[in-house]
Structure 1
Amino acid sequence: MTTVIQNVKLLNEEGELVVSTIVIENGKIASINGDIPAGATVIDGNGHFASPGFVDVHTHLREPGFEHKETIATGSASAAKGGFTTICAMPNTKPVPDSVENMQLINGLIKESAVIRVLPYGSLTKDISGEVRTNMQELKEQGAVAFSDDGIGIQLASTMYEQMQQAAKLDAVVVAHCEDNSLIYDGVMHEGKRNKELGLPGIPSICESVQIARDVLLAEAAGARYHVCHVSTKESVRAVRDAKAAGIKVTAEVCPHHLLLEEMDIPSDDANWKMNPPLRAADDKDSLHAALLDGTIDCIATDHAPHTAEEKCCGMVGAPFGIVGFETAFPLLYTNFVETGKWTLKQLVDWMSVKAAQIFDLPYGILEVGASADLVLIDLDKEQTIDAEGFVSKGRNTPFNGWTAKGWPVVTMFEGNIVYQEAE
Structure 2
Amino acid sequence: MAADLVISGGRLADSALGGERVDVVIENGRISAVVPAGEGPPARRRLDASAALVMPGFVDIQVHFRTPGGTDSEDIASGAAGAAMGGVTACVMMPNTTPTIDTPDMVREVLALAAGVPCDVRTSAAITTGRAGERLTDFAALYSAGVRVFTDDGDCVADDALMEAALAATVGLPGSVVSQHAEDPDMVAGGVINDGAVAQRLGLAGRPAAAEESIVRRDLALAATTGGRYHVLHLSTSAAMARVSVAKRSGINATAEVTPQHLVLTEDDIERLGTTGKMNPPLRLRSDVEALRLGICDGTLDAVATDHAPHHPSLKDTSLLDAAPGMTGVETMASVIWTELVATGAMSPTRFVEVVSVAPARIAGIAEHGHRVEAGLPANLAVFDPAQRWTVHADELQSRSRNTPWAGRELTGKVRHTVLAGHPVVADGELCS
Q: Report the TM range for the smaller structure's normalisation.
A: over 0.9
- 1:116 aligned residue (106, 115, 119): 119
- Between the aligned partners of 1:55 and 1:243, the Cα distance in structure 2 is 25
- Between the aligned partners of 2:16 and 2:398, the Cα distance in structure 1 is 35
**C-alpha displacement at 1:185, in angstroms?**
3.5
In the alignment, residue 382 of structure 1 is paired with which amino acid? Answer: Q
1:14-413 matches, cutoff 5 A:
16-33=18-35, 36-38=40-42, 40-111=44-115, 114-171=117-174, 172-268=176-272, 270-363=274-367, 364-366=369-371, 367-413=373-419
In the alignment, residue 332 of structure 2 is paired with which amino acid? Answer: T
CA RMSD of aligned residues (A): 1.7
After superposing the two structures, state which structure 1 stretch, 394-403 or 247-256, moved more.
394-403
**Which digits, 9 at most, give the CA deviation of each residue in 1:378-424, with x for residues without a partner?**
22221121101111011210221111111011211101111123249
Tell me what 1:11 maps to. Answer: 13
- Between the aligned partners of 1:169 and 1:43, the Cα distance in structure 2 is 44
- Between the aligned partners of 1:273 and 1:49, the Cα distance in structure 2 is 32
**C-alpha displacement at 1:143, in angstroms?**
0.6
Contact 2:14/2:349 (8 A) holds in 1: no
In the alignment, residue 132 of structure 1 is paired with which amino acid? Answer: R
Contact 2:124/2:151 (8 A) holds in 1: yes
**C-alpha displacement at 1:38, in angstroms?**
4.5
- Between the aligned partners of 1:16 and 1:182, the Cα distance in structure 2 is 52
Distance 1:152 1:16, change over 3 A: farther
- Between the aligned partners of 1:228 and 1:361, the Cα distance in structure 2 is 16
After superposing the two structures, state which structure 1 stretch, 96-105 or 261-270, moved more.
261-270
**C-alpha displacement at 1:45, in angstroms?**
2.3
Contact 1:56/1:302 (8 A) holds in 2: yes
- Between the aligned partners of 2:273 and 2:241, the Cα distance in structure 1 is 28
Contact 1:15/1:346 (8 A) holds in 2: no
Contact 1:270/1:314 (8 A) holds in 2: no
Distance 1:268 1:196, change over 3 A: farther
Aligned residues: 423
- Between the aligned partners of 1:310 and 1:19, the Cα distance in structure 2 is 49
TM-score scaled to structure 1, two decimals?
0.96
Q: Which runs of 5+ in 1 are unaligned?
A: none
